[in-house]
């Protein structure tokens, strides 16, 4: 009798211990908030938003007081405000361009935003522009996963946009407007590590932190050299040689609040579908430019072509032969992109 009751009790204790261990394993560590007693120091210029959060930003180009063109730049995945596509000084002075880039929530020195949405990120940009005094309208450039936020700005604050440029904007494979065979094929072509990380972010987002920090299964490896095309490897080498890695500035508050929340939002279920969007600028001369490299190994060109074709009446599509994900950093490319944006319909 003793042993018949002993073994079930032991099994129950083992099960409870396993559950407790699993629960602890999937919990992300608390963020180290910039400026807090146990967090990194604040070194950047910052604004305080209405909800109390801080956004860190960096200004470049001519003074905004004399600028003719004001541009907000949205950085991509696993980078920060310091690494942006910047036009040459000659063009900046000729056209009178002011650039401001900012750390998206949880990146760099911007406070985390656990409840952030596609809409809240667009409203962050609007409030940044207002507090910096950029006027009623400004230009927007979104790069990679920052390009996704560009779609949110087109949806929620189109009245503030003088023009929009999306540079190889990351596509959510689960946007319902994509034909299932097209998005499925594009997802299958991703490296195994990225394929599984994106599926986890979409279907079981509460596992994203654990999945991308464990060593048992393939996890995110978007910058592994062997998956990059020739141009991507060359540009990456130049950026690293210039000291543009900035890793210590990107994730000081932790990987979860920056990278992992980015994945969960970018590849989760959206409140609207960019594939099905109507022209937000009906009756206005505001142009949207979408740029894509045909050899991009991180963001599939097939999905960009589909979106561009669906929105051909209001999106100008520029596909670059032989180019990959980092084409905006190719010498001279930034000037071409900015001049195209400013000139409008091309």
pLDDT digits (tens, 9 = 90+) for 78-108: 888 987 767 788 899 999 999 999 999 999 9
Residue 36 DSSP symbol: S
Name the residue with higher pLDDT: 26 or 4.
26
> Distance (Å, rounded) from C-alpha 325 to C-alpha 77?
12
Kindly give the pairing relationship between strand 54-61 and strand 97-102.
Answer: antiparallel
- Kindly indicate the confidence band of residue 44, based on its pLDDT and cuts at 50, 70 and 90: very high
Spatial strand order in the sheet of 315-320:
45-48, 54-61, 97-102, 69-74, 138-143, 161-167, 288-293, 315-320
Instruction: Give the angle 162-167-168 at the CA atoms, nearest 5°.
Output: 145
pLDDT digits (tens, 9 = 90+) for 202-261: 999 999 988 888 877 766 754 455 567 777 777 777 776 665 556 678 888 888 899 999
Query: pTM (2 decimals)?
Result: 0.89
Residue 76's alpha-carbon distances to 19, 134, 150, in angstroms, are 36, 22, 11
pLDDT digits (tens, 9 = 90+) for 195-206: 999 999 999 999
């Amino acid at each position: 009798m003793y042993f018949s009751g002993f073994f079930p009790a032991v099994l129950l204790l083992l099960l409870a211990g396993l559950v407790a261990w699993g629960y602890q394993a999937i919990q992300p560590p608390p963020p180290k908030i910039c400026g807090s007693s146990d967090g990194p120091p604040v070194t950047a210029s910052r604004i305080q938003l209405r909800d109390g959060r801080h956004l860190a930003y960096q200004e470049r180009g001519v003074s905004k007081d004399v600028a003719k063109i004001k541009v907000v730049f949205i950085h991509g995945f696993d980078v920060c405000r310091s690494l942006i596509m910047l036009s040459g000084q000659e063009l900046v002075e000729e056209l009178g361009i002011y650039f401001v880039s900012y750390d998206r929530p949880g990146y760099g020195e911007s406070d985390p935003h656990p409840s952030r949405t596609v809409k809240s990120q667009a409203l962050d940009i609007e409030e940044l522009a207002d507090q910096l005094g950029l006027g009623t309208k400004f230009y927007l450039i979104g790069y990679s996963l920052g390009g996704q936020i560009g779609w949110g700005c087109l949806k929620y604050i189109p009245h503030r946009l003088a023009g929009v440029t999306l540079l190889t904007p990351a596509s959510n494979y689960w946007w319902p407007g994509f034909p299932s065979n097209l998005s499925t094929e594009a997802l299958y072509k991703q490296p195994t590590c990225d394929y599984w990380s994106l599926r986890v972010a979409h279907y079981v987002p509460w596992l994203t932190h654990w999945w991308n920090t464990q060593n048992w299964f393939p996890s995110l490896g978007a910058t592994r050299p062997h998956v990059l095309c020739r141009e991507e490897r060359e540009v990456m080498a130049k950026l690293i040689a210039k000291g543009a890695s900035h890793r210590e500035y990107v994730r000081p508050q932790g990987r979860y609040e920056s990278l992992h929340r980015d994945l969960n939002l970018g590849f989760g279920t959206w409140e609207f579908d960019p594939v099905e969007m109507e022209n937000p600028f009906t009756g206005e001369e505001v142009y949207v430019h979408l740029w894509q490299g045909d050899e991009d190994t991180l963001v599939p060109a097939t999905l960009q072509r589909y979106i561009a074709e669906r929105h051909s009446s209001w999106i100008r599509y520029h596909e670059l032969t032989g180019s990959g994900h980092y084409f905006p950093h190719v010498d001279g490319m930034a000037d071409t992109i900015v001049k195209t944006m400013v000139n409008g319909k091309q």
